[in-house]
Amino acid sequence: MAETEQPQIYLITPPEIELSSFSDTLARVLDAHEVACVRLALSTHDETELCRAADACRDVTHARDIALVIETHFVLADRLGLDGVHLNDGARSVRAARKALGTDAIVGAYCGPSRHEGMNAGESGADYVSFGPVGVTSLAGGEQAEREIFEWWSQMIEVPVVAEGALDTGLMKNLSSVTDFFGMGDEIWRSDDPINTLKEFVAAMT
Q: What pLDDT is attached to residue 20?
A: 86
Q: Does residue 121 lie in a domain region? A: no
Answer yes or no: is 32 within a domain: yes
Q: Is residue 42 part of a domain?
A: yes
- Residue 58 maps to a domain: yes
> Does residue 96 fall inside a structural domain?
no
Give the C-alpha separation, 76 to 55, whole Å: 11
- Is residue 172 domain-resident? yes
Question: Using one digit for the tens of pLDDT, what is the confidence trace for 60-83?
Answer: 999 999 999 999 999 999 999 999
Domain of residue 43 covers 8-74+136-205
Name 69's bridge partners.
Answer: 39, 84
CB atoms within 10 A of CB 15: 13
Q: Report pLDDT for 138.
A: 73
- Domain contains 200: yes
How many structural domains comprise the chain?
A: 1
Domain-embedded: residue 92: no
Confidence of residue 140 (pLDDT cuts 50, 70, 90): low
CATH number of the domain enclosing 145: 3.20.20.70
